[in-house]
Amino acid sequence: MKKINILLFTIITLLHSSCQEYSYIENELHGLWQITTVEDKATAEITEAQGELYYSFQRNMVVVSYNSPTKPTGLMMTQYNSDFLLEGDSIHINDFRIYQEYDKKAPLQALKKFGIHGERTTFHIERPNRKCMILESEQARVALLKY
């Protein structure tokens, strides 16, 4: 009887810890998104994504990655990661770090191709439909497709 109680307690605990409620935006945000265009609001210049530019959202972490069109295939992408906070339809992203070298900050110039113009960025999330998303900050407007 004691073994059955321990087994039931373990199963209930595992089920309870794995059932976390997410809002609609959290569920839709998670995953890999490919950048199609980045608009710089200061210059009104719209840039088509050169190479492969991605945002990846998982739980409270965001990774931006870049693969140059001139880079041979099979080589690792350049990646930067950060934590983020989702509040309603806004996402607050803190300073980015070089992937696997967390003590080094990502160069701001390298982040501009992702529509990130400062150490801390707040994006408003727009959802035209389930397959595309627009992240809009004071400095940039980034159009993404679900990958």
Grade residue 3 by pLDDT with cuts at 50, 70 and 90. low
Distance CA 96, CA 52 (A): 19
* Cα distances (Å, whole numbers) of residue 77 to 14, 22, 104, 107, 142: 35, 30, 17, 16, 20
Q: Is the pTM of this model over 0.85?
A: no
Pick 60 or 10 by higher pLDDT.
Answer: 60
Pick 71 or 126 by higher pLDDT.
Answer: 126
The pLDDT value recorded for residue 21 is 47
Instruction: Give per-residue pLDDT as tens, 102-140.
Output: 788 999 888 999 999 988 999 999 876 778 999 999 999
